[in-house]
Amino acid sequence: MEMNRQDAKNAKKREPSEEVDRLAYAVIGAAIEVHRVLGPGFLESVYHQALKLEFQMRGIPHTSKHAVAVTYKGYQVGEGELDFLVGNVLIVELKAVEKLAPIHEAQVISYLKMTNHPLALLINFNVPVLKEGIKRIILS
């Protein structure tokens, strides 16, 4: 299927900026280091604290346990909590589960919609090789 100019333009709009990609790369490097040192098998809270420390050591700007309003037709109906908001543009959601489930991805997509941020990383630390546990999710 061929892409026309408008399709290409729309597809490009959805791609995260270089800054967001740079932050994502830095986050993945920090997560790989945490996984290299700790390995799989701990609770999510342990990985959260270790990653928070690694972000601090690497000078990666972040907010931990970042609250976001959940709205319905313009009314706030609740509150969500991002594991990390990196550089005010990148959502990082952590898991320590046997296997990522569709509900985990749905949660992250909802966070992207609520915040209108372009990109999220869903990271599952309970895997032998961390690369297998990282999912990049783009708001489209």
Q: Residue ranges of the domains in the chain?
A: 5-138
Between residues 1 and 19, the one the model is more confident about: 19
pLDDT given for residue 124 in this prediction: 98
Q: Which long-range contacts (CB under 8 A, 24 or more apart) does 39-45 make?
A: 40/96, 40/125, 40/126, 40/127, 40/128, 41/126, 42/96, 42/125, 43/96, 44/94, 44/95, 44/96, 44/125
Q: What's the mean pLDDT in 56-73?
A: 96
pLDDT given for residue 27 in this prediction: 98
Q: What is the mean pLDDT of the chain?
A: 91
* Confidence (pTM): 0.87
What is the pairing mode between strands 90-95 and 119-124? Answer: parallel
